[in-house]
Amino acid sequence: MPLEALATGVIDALIALLMAGVNLLPDPLSAPFEYRFMQRALLTSVLVGAICGLLSCYVVLKRWSLLGDAISHAVLPGVAIAYLLGWPFFIGAFITGALTSLGIGALERHTRIKADAAMGLMFTAAFALGIVIISKIATSTHLMHILFGNVLGVQTGALVLTLLASLVAVLVIWLAYRPLLLYTFDPQQAQALGFNTSLIHYGLILLLTLTIVASLETVGIILVVAMLITPGATAHLLTDRFPTMLAISVGVGVISAVVGLVLSVSLDVASGGAIVLVASSLFVVALLAAPKHGLVARQWRRWRLNRA
Amino acid sequence: MTDTPPALQARRLSAAYHQHPVLEDITLALPQGQWTAIVGPNGAGKSSLLNLIIGTLPPLRGELRILGESPAVQRRVGNIAYMAQQENMEWDFPISVRETVLTGRYGLIRQDPLWQRLLPRHWANPVHQQAVDDALEAVDMADHASRPIGELSGGQKKRVLLARALAQQAKILLLDEPLAGVDPPSEKLILATLERERAAGRTIIMVTHDLPGARHHADNVLLINRTLIGMGSPDEMLNDAMLARLAVGAPASGHGGVRVAA
């Protein structure tokens, strides 16, 4: 298959690029990356960190944290059904994730149920369905990996999916930069200027679903929402410019994923948890030390004001 | 058609939020190039009329025409500029004053060729940057262009929102309480700017609680309380008899006052 050859070619090229950087590191750090599975885990982590970082800016500014949590949980029944039918897991995941977000929108728009209740209701129902289906199938390590992530065992199929999802996310955010920015900042103005706000809304939700599905094997269902909130929240503390926020957020996502991966190998702990803990630590550092919006800077300004 | 279509024309227009009627049976026409003040008590549906025009509230019944066409068409070509109420904005958003004003051009930028839209703004069509500069100059905010919007005072925020509407250079300016909570110098500046815009031939439709301001600047006054209570010159509308009618919500001529401004 020429497509398969192309995919492996692109993956090999990207890995070679990353290894050029890794080889600059001191030996104890770069040694584990001599293994092929470590190289693939590294590439997956970098990609997942980057797209989660991109999307998390929109999630944080649009107050969609709970929606991200909802979609990530709603993915579970899709994974279980896909497993039963012998489909690739991400197809099922994408379908139930997207259906649940549409259901939330419909419930919110056409009944008196408020948005947060609609989300809580839909995603717990979907998650419960997933658990019921899983309890009927024999316990499978693969399903555990979907729940908690297992970046070290990432298969070529999942890596290709992550690569495609990253390409789509970067392309969409580049091509639709202004509509997405305006819709996030001021949806009313977007409507007044004749933008198709429903298209932007559901497009952004689909992009979010795609990112979540692509991140499943790395950080897992339970923790993916952390990667959709923490990088963006950290970046929001550090800048007052949206393009800079995107850049910082991608940086935080990638650094967390790579450092978390290295720590999980050297300490022999779960990769998803390690990645999220690194991201949370970066957030705490920003919270304390951000030049303008950090706690130390605020306290310092208050102290100076009182002295004057 | 030989004569110019009205800026806004409504025929038996009604609207509702969640089955709760906010506007009923509005019929009116506003000519182009005039300044209209919409006056009425809180919750009377003044902002809803603007929301019908910008498309955030779908009409329940009746017909609404902007410059003789459907509002969606006129929004799409950029003829409708909207200045939101300050409370509806996310002032925490990481965006500068200049970028905020530039968002007023986003509808027009959409009409640029694709390759130009994909460039960073420094290489993009200079027309848009010029319009932003002019708008910031008009509201005396050019010195604050690179500041984050969250740092501005109340009056400055209003002026930035007005600059964003001006930057669009649209035929119709919709303003939702542009003078609410504004310091006197900002108020003077905003009113002077709007006078210039009217002199340039633009149509101004402004929701306001400022009766002296409406009396002094507006060509027409719409009295709205769920339905159209009255419409005419400031002298005809802003007197004790009409304002008493407005307060109880009783139209002058039977139901749904039908009048056309001169």
pLDDT in tens, B92-134: 999 999 999 999 999 999 988 888 888 776 667 789 999 999 9
Tell me, what's the pLDDT at B254? 45
Q: Kindly tell me if the per-residue pLDDT of B1 is higher than 60.
A: no
Q: Kindly tell me if the per-residue pLDDT of B253 is higher than 70.
A: no
Tell me the pLDDT of chain A averaged across its residues: 90
- For chain B, count helices (H), then strands (E): 11, 10
Tell me, what's the pLDDT at A142? 67
Of B54, B148, B150, the CB nearest to A192: B54
- Lowest mean pLDDT, pick from A30-34, A133-137, A138-142: A138-142
Paired tokens of A229: 């909130």
pLDDT confidence of B256, banded at 50, 70, 90? very low
Paired tokens of B140: 């005396």
Tell me, what's the pLDDT at B112? 87
What pTM value is reported for the model? 0.91
> What is the chain B residue with the closest CA to A239?
B94
Tell me, what's the pLDDT at B19? 79
Tell me, what's the pLDDT at B123? 67
- State whether A241 and B95 contact (CB < 8 Å): yes
For residue B83, give the nearest of B215, B226, B221, B190 by alpha carbon.
Answer: B190
Tell me, what's the pLDDT at B80? 96
Tell me, what's the pLDDT at A138? 64
Distant-in-sequence, close-in-space partners of A89: CB < 8 Å, separation ≥ 6? A78, A79, A82, A83, A142, A146, A216
Residue A42 exposure: Cα atoms within 13 Å on the Cβ side:
24
A194 interface with B at CB cutoff 8 Å:
yes
Residue found by looking up tokens 């039918």 in the block: A85
Q: Kindly tell me if the per-residue pLDDT of A1 is higher than 80.
A: no
pLDDT confidence of B258, banded at 50, 70, 90? very low
Q: Kindly report the number of other CB atoms within 10 A of residue A17's CB atom.
A: 11
DSSP B66: E
Please give the average per-residue pLDDT across A144-171, as a whole number. 86
Pairwise CA distance, residues B100 & A209, whole Å? 29
Paired tokens of B230: 């009255």
Helix (H) or strand (E) holding B65: strand B59-66
- State whether B117 and A178 contact (CB < 8 Å): yes
Three-class SS of A90-139: HHHHHHHHHHHHHHHHHHHHHCCCCHHHHHHHHHHHHHHHHHHHHHHCCC
- Four-CA torsion A87, A90, A91, A95, nearest 10 degrees: 130
Pairwise CA distance, residues A78 & A82, whole Å? 6
Helix (H) or strand (E) holding A271: helix A271-289
Q: Judge whether A217 and A40 are in contact, CB under 8 Å.
A: no
Please give the average per-residue pLDDT across A89-95, as a whole number. 87
Tell me, what's the pLDDT at B115? 84
Distant-in-sequence, close-in-space partners of B39: CB < 8 Å, separation ≥ 6? B46, B208, B209, B211, B214, B221, B222, B223, B224, B237, B238, B246
Pairwise CA distance, residues A45 & A219, whole Å? 9
Of B76, B88, B96, the CB nearest to A188: B88
Mutation choice for A interface testing from B56, B83, B152 by most A CBs within 10 A: B56
Tell me how far apart the 2 most distant CA atoms of chain B are, in Å: 60
pLDDT in tens, B172-219: 999 999 998 888 999 999 999 999 999 999 999 999 998 988 999 999
Tell me the pLDDT of chain B averaged across its residues: 90
Q: Is B140 left (phi over 0), alpha (psi -120 to 50) or beta?
A: left
Instruction: Give the dihedral sign, CA B150/B155/B159/B165.
Output: positive
pLDDT confidence of B255, banded at 50, 70, 90? very low
Residue A285 exposure: Cα atoms within 13 Å on the Cβ side:
9
A231 interface with B at CB cutoff 8 Å:
no
Distance from CA of A174 to the nearest CA of B (A): 7
Please give the average per-residue pLDDT across A11-30, as a whole number. 88
Q: Judge whether A51 and A212 are in contact, CB under 8 Å.
A: no
Pairwise CA distance, residues B159 & B189, whole Å? 9
For A44, list phi and psi in degrees, rounded to 5: -60, -45
For B121, list phi and psi in degrees, rounded to 5: -60, -20
Q: Kindly tell me if the per-residue pLDDT of B18 is higher than 90.
A: no
From chain B, the residues in CB contact with A186 under 8 A are 84, 89-90, 103
Tell me, what's the pLDDT at B15? 94
Distance from CA of A188 to the nearest CA of B (A): 7
Please give the average per-residue pLDDT across A173-188, as a whole number. 95
For B98, list phi and psi in degrees, rounded to 5: -60, -45
pLDDT in tens, A282-302: 999 999 999 999 999 989 998
From chain B, the residues in CB contact with A185 under 8 A are 90, 93, 95, 100, 103
Q: Kindly tell me if the per-residue pLDDT of B221 is higher than 90.
A: yes
